[in-house]
Structure 1
Amino acid sequence: MFIIQPDRLYLHGVVFEVRVINGFKNNSSLPLVIWCSSKENDLGGRALQEHDDFSWKVTTKLWKSNQFSCTMKWDAKRRSFDAFKVPRDFYRCGHFKKCSWLVTEDGFYFSSDEINWKKDFQW
């Protein structure tokens, strides 16, 4: 079965791994607080210490939300962003369907291989 978007065609039932990594340096006293959810699934909150990560799997569905949003808080900084969104990530997450985010002092970096990181958002 397929999911049809205005400009692309997506397969139903494809599994993606989404991972958020605390990439801050020397912040052991200040965790990165993260809360992620979709319309159907609240993953809850986590406090990630330096180099900790939080990951989950997303299966594309025909009649349900294919988007997970996360709110991040670190010290006085706060930012919400889409950690996974089918139109943006279906092809961008690569052959292995891995969508990784590295959160650092200066922003949010995306990678499909955890080697090559591209800055997508700032705080």
Structure 2
Amino acid sequence: MKKVIRSFGYAFKGISYAYTTQLNFRIHSAATIIAVASGLLLGINASEWLWIALAITLVTITEMLNTAVELLTDLTSPGYNNKAGHVKDISAGCVVIAAVFAVITAAVVFLPKLLLLVNHAA
């Protein structure tokens, strides 16, 4: 049981490292707070919550994996290496793809509700 508890400690240490050292992780965290608050305020339904949760999870996972890949690449190739640069670029590209998915998901879920609010207020 100690091993399991210790492994969770390492995982939270990794999340903390990503949050404290990576500006983009903090930006994504702020976007998560905005998305959750918007979902609560707009009263999205269970299936919409699942899509929002999926988008948040994909962005968070890819951002953390990108951080890990960058650290490992810097460790194994401290000097300039063209292929190491490609590895880091590809990893960052994965985050961009996940973030675009998140923006599209947010638009599909939130825009109709926001338009109803605007039309109702007018």
TM-score range, shorter-chain basis? under 0.3
**Greater share of strand residues, 1 or 2?**
1
Give the TM-score normalised by the residue count of structure 1. Answer: 0.21
**Greater share of helix residues, 1 or 2?**
2
Give the TM-score normalised by the residue count of structure 2. Answer: 0.21
